[in-house]
Structure 1
Amino acid sequence: MPPRRYAFGRPEEVTHPDSMRATLAEFVSTFIFVFAGEGSLLALAKLYTDTPLPASGLVVIALAHALSLFSAVAASMNVSGGHVNPAVTFGALVGRRISLMLAFYYWVAQLLGAVVAALLLRVTTGGMRPIGLTVSSGVSAVNAMLLEMVLTFGLVYTVYATAIDHRRGALGTVAPLAIGLIVGANILVGGPFDGASMNPARAFGPALVGWRWKNQWVYWVGPFIGAALAGVIYEFIVIPTETPHHTHQPLAPEDY
């Protein structure tokens, strides 16, 4: 395949029905993900009001994020590509899989979806303040940023391998499951240290509604660097610029 070029986007792309549907899909899917993910934290806080949170709570949180992201990606993949994450959108932008203009609209939709989810959680839980994400005691902000970078690299690399790579074949059908599982696994690893966001929208919505801004930059800088690295490595090194003469599976049509 010929090398792609970076695209700013055409003016008519803003009002094109497909772009509007894709933007709406990103809003709804991010809402679904953040509502369930942040909601799991509030549910555990409600259950363990007077006692410390048990270690099994981490499994509950990871499972809630994995299942909700699986559903959110599956629901929007055929419409918007199922990004549900500003970092994933940035990785796709770095890999020249989306125009800058459409990426901007995705980012706005994802952040709004996260904010609305956090607002509705505060209303439906009787005013419970969103907990959001925090860097644990004994963990420096720099270390947390590096952890977010590594975790997000794994997420975006998985997205490329299962949902973007034109050679993926049947893997495209299991992409939502693979993406949900890597997020759940990463939360089991990084949750005790910094919450394992991997998603600036996931961090931003609860932070705004709960007004908890400490170390918020960690959940933006780390994921964006990790996503960019994954996009560059997979797009420019793993995916060939020319169609191979021999392949073990037929090329699948591209979604991006």
Structure 2
Amino acid sequence: MEGTSPNTFTFITTTIDAPSPSNPEISPSPSALSGLAQTYPPGFSRKVFAEVIGTFLLVFVGSGSAGLSVIDESRVSKLAASLAAGLIVTVMIYSIGHISGAHMNPAVSLAFAAVRHFPWPQVPFYVVAQLTGSISASYTLRELFQPSKEIGGTTPAGSHIQALIVEMVTTFTMVFISMAVATDTNATGQLSGVAVGCSVSISSIVAGPISGGSMNPARTLGPAIATSTYKGLWVYFVGPITGAVLAAWSYNVIRDTEHPGFPFSLSSLSFKVRQSVSGTKTDQRSLV
């Protein structure tokens, strides 16, 4: 009996482990599940919803103030509208930056992904969230501003080429500053949200008379859909996306590589503010 026990054990083991031809293995491998969990972490839905809210408020305030300025400049001046656009960006960075990175702009999401500071598989979800927020805000403004159809949409005031160039340059400025304060730990982060907000206000003041100072495809598409006005729409996709990608690439070229900071995939401006204020040494790679 002792001589046959090993053979019996071997037979049973082989019978259990052998895959059945009629029941092929379909469960995903552990490595595939691990990769999926890293790409779409458990809190990813919160990030997407934060982008919806952030973009809604961005367009509601930015487009709303611009629309009110056109309706009655004695109540809201063009300068006030530009300042409002920058201020809403600032406060949203401090509000949802630690959750989603406060992109609120498809061009920003694409630019960060292009230089590997944001995962490409998450980009479509962010873009859909940003467009959803923008379109919802635009329809809300349309109802509030009736009977006026002016809700702060952006269209070229001159030629399309002029508007294209100014959108590229102003978006380059905004994203270049965002890359510096959001992805480089050697940059001063205590007032990072203020820096980005100021860049939006300054760029909006310069670009407003020429292109409307969009710097954001979602910012333009929402009002365009709500008012069925599509003049020069391509300008506000090509210009901001091109300027944003060039800015991200340019900052990567001049980044200080002799004293590199911790790399991380998802920017979080408010995290940097809290870190600089509290003096903590938390590894920023935990934001991935």
TM range, normalised to the smaller chain? 0.7 to 0.9
> 194, 215, 236: which one pairs with 1:177?
194
> 65, 82, 86: which one pairs with 2:85?
65
Say if 1:189 and 1:112 are closer, same or farther in 2 by CA, change over 3 A: same
> 181, 200, 207: which one pairs with 1:162?
181
Determine helix, strand or coil for the equivalent of 1:223.
helix
- Contact 1:207–1:213 (CA under 8 A) maintained in structure 2: yes
Q: Kindly provide the CA deviation profile for residues 97-140 of structure 1, in whole angstroms up to 9, marking residues without a partner as x.
A: 1111111111111111000000111122335323400111xx32
Say if 1:252 and 1:179 are closer, same or farther in 2 by CA, change over 3 A: farther
Q: Shift of the alpha carbon at 1:15?
A: 5.5
- Larger Rg computed on CA atoms: 2
CA distance in 2, matches of 1:216, 1:20: 30
Counterpart in 1 of 2:273? none
> 96, 114, 127: which one pairs with 1:94?
114
Say if 1:210 and 1:198 are closer, same or farther in 2 by CA, change over 3 A: same
CA distance in 1, matches of 2:43, 2:253: 28
CA distance in 1, matches of 2:52, 2:95: 12
Say if 1:212 and 1:125 are closer, same or farther in 2 by CA, change over 3 A: same
- Percent same amino acid among aligned pairs? 31
Q: How many residues align?
A: 235
Q: Shift of the alpha carbon at 1:220?
A: 0.7
Counterpart in 2 of 1:206? 223
The letter of the residue matching 2:104 is V
CA distance in 2, matches of 1:230, 1:204: 22
Unaligned runs of 5+ in 1: 1-8
Q: Shift of the alpha carbon at 1:253?
A: 4.2
Whose RCO is larger (CA < 8 A, sep 6+)? 1
CA distance in 2, matches of 1:73, 1:106: 16
The letter of the residue matching 1:209 is A
Counterpart in 2 of 1:78? 98
Unaligned runs of 5+ in 2: 1-33, 262-275
Counterpart in 2 of 1:217? 234
TM-score (norm 2): 0.75
Residues 1:106 and 2:126 aligned together: yes
Counterpart in 1 of 2:44? 19
The letter of the residue matching 2:238 is V
Residues 1:47 and 2:64 aligned together: no
